[in-house]
Amino acid sequence: MTSDETAELQAVEAAIARHGHEPGPLIVVLHAIQDALGYIPESALPRIAQGLNLARSEVYGVVTFYHYFRMHKPGARTVQICRAEACQARGCQALERHAREKLGIDYHETTADGATSLEMVFCMGNCATGPAVRIDGRLYSHVTPERFDALLAHQEGAQ
């Protein structure tokens, strides 16, 4: 077993031990695993199902239904673009097109160098100042394609 696999198993076991006794614990367990690892390993789904006495298909269904959860390791940097109605009304479609072209990836993908993952979000609570973007947890408002490029350049310079 590799060190990555060991860390994954430990995160899964810890989440089940910590939250498995709660009523309806699946979502809480999945959040705990993703918080620890940055993703839900597909190989962990059978263990989660067993630990919570659920069908594997139920666990898989929840993980794949919610856009928040991902089953692949994210890039070193995560870029989230809000796609909620308010941000759409404020021009997020042009920003989305630009971001996908600039990064060379689509939503739920990571650049080939592992540097950046692109995710969609359906509300960041920043409706009046959209389009909104979150980069590694930091929220930005009024993001145009030009500002997006500047934010990425700034982030790259900070690393």
pLDDT digits (tens, 9 = 90+) for 104-121: 999 989 999 999 999 999
Q: Which parts of 20-159 fold into alpha helices (H)?
A: 26-37, 45-52, 56-65, 85-89, 92-103, 145-158
Q: How does strand 116-121 pair with strand 77-82?
A: parallel
**Is pLDDT at 18 greater than 90 in this prediction?**
yes
Give the chain's mean pLDDT.
93
Instruction: Give the C-alpha separation, 93 to 135, whole Å.
Output: 18
Q: Is residue 72 part of a domain?
A: no
Q: Are residues 84 and 57 in the same domain?
A: no
Q: Which structural domain range is residue 91 located in?
A: 77-158
Name the pLDDT band for 159 (thresholds 50, 70, 90).
Answer: low
Planar angle of CA 96, 97, 102, nearest 5 degrees: 95
Q: Is residue 71 part of a domain?
A: no
Residue ending a domain, choose from 65, 98, 118: 65
What pLDDT is attached to residue 63? 96
What pLDDT is attached to residue 4? 81
Query: What single-letter amino acid sits at 13?
Result: E
Q: Is residue 102 part of a domain?
A: yes
Residue ending a domain, choose from 45, 65, 85: 65
- The tally of CA atoms less than 13 A away on the side-chain side of residue 107 is 15
Q: Are residues 58 and 81 in the same domain?
A: no
Planar angle of CA 123, 37, 29, nearest 5 degrees: 70
**Is pLDDT at 148 greater than 60 in this prediction?**
yes
In this prediction, what percent of the chain has a pLDDT beyond 70? Answer: 97
Q: Are residues 82 and 60 in the same domain?
A: no
Mean pLDDT of 71-89: 94
Instruction: Give the C-alpha separation, 8 to 102, whole Å.
Output: 32
Domain count, the chain: 2
Task: Report the CATH number that the domain containing residue 110 is assigned in CATH.
Answer: 3.40.30.10
Q: Is residue 70 part of a domain?
A: no
